[in-house]
Amino acid sequence: MAQAETHYTLPSPQFDKPTKLLIMVAPYYKDIADQLVAGAKSAIIAAGASFDLIEVPGALEVPTGIRLAVNSDKYDGFVALGCVIRGETTHYDTVCNDSSRALQMMGLSGICIGNGILTVETRDQAVARAEAEGQNKGGGAADAAMHLILLARKFSRQTSGIGFKPSSEFIQIAAKD
């Protein structure tokens, strides 16, 4: 029972410069999606960031929608939301595995994504996880994306002077000598 467990969560991120996220949601189960979105919106606003919201048909389309939005350079990070409830066929496994794998691959390429696509056995499990006043998995996904944004900003500013210099830098140094 997940409800009986206690989990440590990092403090919510805070931004002191403009930060914009895109919430990409599959509203297949509209009531559940609405709760996930409410939690994500609340977390983003509390952090001092802004957001846009786009709906796509299903969980498999969420990664594609995010990948298309990455090309716009309008967003610092992304929140993937939706719900997949096990049915009678293996389609559940395909949707869960493929959507998760696609989001993970984008994350590994440096895109800041919080994955809030619920993968559950029953509607009751989905409702418990989605409720903004409950487990708030939408808010958790938004917080995850925002923590990654802060981490990306931290590492993009750091230079240690270790490693190879780009050839253009080497040519400038050689020209001075």
Closest CA to 58 of 90, 88, 35, 92: 92
32 occurs within a structural domain: yes
Question: Total domain count for the chain?
Answer: 1
Closest CA to 97 of 109, 78, 84: 84
**pLDDT digits (tens), the chain, 177 positions:** 455 678 788 988 999 889 999 999 999 999 999 999 999 999 999 999 999 999 999 999 999 999 999 999 999 999 999 999 999 888 999 999 999 999 999 999 999 999 999 999 999 999 999 998 999 999 999 999 999 999 999 998 655 655 555 555 545 555 555
3 occurs within a structural domain: no
Q: Which residues contact 77 (CB under 8 A, 6 or more apart)?
A: 19, 21, 22, 111, 112, 113, 114, 145, 146, 148, 149
Domain that includes residue 83, residue range: 10-176
Q: How much is the pTM?
A: 0.86
Q: What is the CATH number of the domain that holds 85?
A: 3.40.50.960
Contact 106, 113 (CB under 8 A): yes
pLDDT of residue 137: 97
5 occurs within a structural domain: no
Token match 């499990």: residue? Answer: 125
71 occurs within a structural domain: yes
pLDDT of residue 1: 45
143 occurs within a structural domain: yes
How do the residues of the chain divide into helix, strand and coil, expressed in percent and rounded to 5?
Answer: 50, 15, 35
14 occurs within a structural domain: yes
Active-site hit among 30, 74, 91, 101: 91
140 occurs within a structural domain: yes
113 occurs within a structural domain: yes
CA angle 112, 167, 153 (to 5 degrees): 20
The reply to whether 91 belongs to the active site is yes
pLDDT of residue 19: 96
